[in-house]
Amino acid sequence: MKAFFTWLASSALPFAALAQTDAPVAPAQTNAPAYTLKDFAALPLMDAPALSPNGLHIASRVAVNGEQRLVIADVHEGADRIRSIGLSDNDLNWWQWVNDDWLIAGVGAESNVQGTPWYISRVVSIKRDGSKVILLAKKDAAQNADDVIWMARDGTPRIMLSYQTSIFYNEPGFWPRVDEIDVSTGRMHSVVAPKTFVRSWFADAAGTVRMGVGYSDATRTAKLVYRPDGKASFRTIDRADRRRGESLVSPLLFTADPNKAIAEDDREGTDALYELDLTTLELGKKIFSAPGFDIGSISTDSSGMALAGVAYTANGPSVHWFDATLAKIQADLDKAVPDRRARIISLSRDRQRMIVHVGSADQPGAYYYYDTNAGAMSLLSKVSSRFSTKTHLGPVKTIHYKARDGLDIAAVLTLPVGSAAKDLPLILMPHGGPFARDSEDWDWWVQFLAWRGYAVLQPNYRGSSGYGTAFAEKGEGQWGLAMQDDLNDAVDWAVKQGIADPKRVCMVGASYGGYAAMRAAQRDPAKYRCAVSYAGVSDLAAMMRYDRRFLNHGTRQDWLKEQAPDFASVSPVHFASQFATPILLMHGKKDRRVQVNQSREMAEKLKAAGKVEGRDYIYVEQPLADHHFSREADRLEFLEQMDAFLKAHNPA
- Give the integer Cα–Cα distance in Å for 189 and 187: 7
Which residues fall within 8 angstroms of residue 40, CB to CB, at 6 or more apart? 386, 444, 445, 447, 448, 451, 639
- Give the integer Cα–Cα distance in Å for 182 and 160: 9
In the sheet that holds 188-192, the strands lie side by side as 147-151, 158-163, 177-182, 188-192
**Residue 343 predicted with pLDDT over 90:** yes
Tell me where in the chain the CATH 3.40.50.1820 domain(s) lie.
Answer: 396-649
Q: What is the pLDDT of residue 250?
A: 80
Q: What is the pLDDT of residue 255?
A: 95
Strand partners, 95: 105
Q: What is the pLDDT of residue 559?
A: 66
What pLDDT band is residue 376 in, cutting at 50, 70 and 90? confident
The average pLDDT across 89-104 equals 93
- Give the integer Cα–Cα distance in Å for 499 and 57: 48
Question: Mean pLDDT for the chain?
Answer: 89
What's the pLDDT tens digit per position in 605-652?
999 999 999 999 999 999 999 999 999 999 999 999 999 999 999 999
To the nearest whole percent, how much of the chain has pLDDT over 70? 92
**Residue 5 predicted with pLDDT over 80:** no
Q: What is the pLDDT of residue 408?
A: 98
Q: What is the pLDDT of residue 97?
A: 98
The average pLDDT across 219-223 equals 84
Closest CA to 475 of 349, 644, 466, 573: 466
Of the listed ranges 75-84, 508-517, 544-553, the least confidently predicted one is 544-553
Of residues 563 and 326, more confidently modeled: 326
Of residues 196 and 638, more confidently modeled: 638
The CATH T-level fold of domain 396-649 is: Rossmann fold (3.40.50)
The amino acid at 531: A
What pLDDT band is residue 554 in, cutting at 50, 70 and 90? low
The CA-atom distances, in angstroms, between 198 and each of 153, 193, 221, 222 are 26, 10, 11, 9
The average pLDDT across 214-240 equals 87
Q: Which of 6-15, 195-204, 239-248 has the highest mean pLDDT?
A: 195-204
SS3 447: helix
| H-only helix segments in 497-539 | 512-523
Strand partners, 212: 201, 225
The average pLDDT across 63-90 equals 80
Q: What is the pLDDT of residue 192?
A: 96
For 474-506, the DSSP string reads: TTTT-TTTHHHHHHHHHHHHHHHTTSEEEEEEE
Strand partners, 508: 532
Of the listed ranges 20-29, 239-248, 555-564, the least confidently predicted one is 20-29
Q: What is the pLDDT of residue 23?
A: 36
Residue 366 CB neighbours (<10 A): 21
What pLDDT band is residue 30 in, cutting at 50, 70 and 90? very low
For 103-136, the DSSP string reads: EEEEEEEEEEETTEEEEEEEEEEEETTSS-EEET
What's the pLDDT tens digit per position in 262-296?
999 999 999 999 999 988 889 999 999 999 999 99
What pLDDT band is residue 80 in, cutting at 50, 70 and 90? low
**Residue 413 predicted with pLDDT over 60:** yes
The average pLDDT across 112-119 equals 78
Which residues fall within 8 angstroms of residue 267, CB to CB, at 6 or more apart? 283
**Residue 362 predicted with pLDDT over 90:** yes
Which residues fall within 8 angstroms of residue 206, CB to CB, at 6 or more apart? none
What pLDDT band is residue 9 in, cutting at 50, 70 and 90? very low
The average pLDDT across 77-89 equals 70
Of residues 338 and 532, more confidently modeled: 532
**Residue 543 predicted with pLDDT over 70:** yes
The average pLDDT across 343-351 equals 95
What pLDDT band is residue 130 in, cutting at 50, 70 and 90? confident
Q: What are the φ/ψ torsions at residue 644 (nearest 5 degrees)?
A: -65, -40
Strand partners, 506: 427, 530
Burial class (CB within 10 angstroms; exposed 0-12, middle 13-18, buried 19+) of 22: middle
Which residues fall within 8 angstroms of residue 561, CB to CB, at 6 or more apart? none
Answer whether 0.75 is exceeded by the pTM: yes
What pLDDT band is residue 27 in, cutting at 50, 70 and 90? very low
Strand partners, 261: 254, 276
The average pLDDT across 437-443 equals 97
Q: What is the pLDDT of residue 556?
A: 62
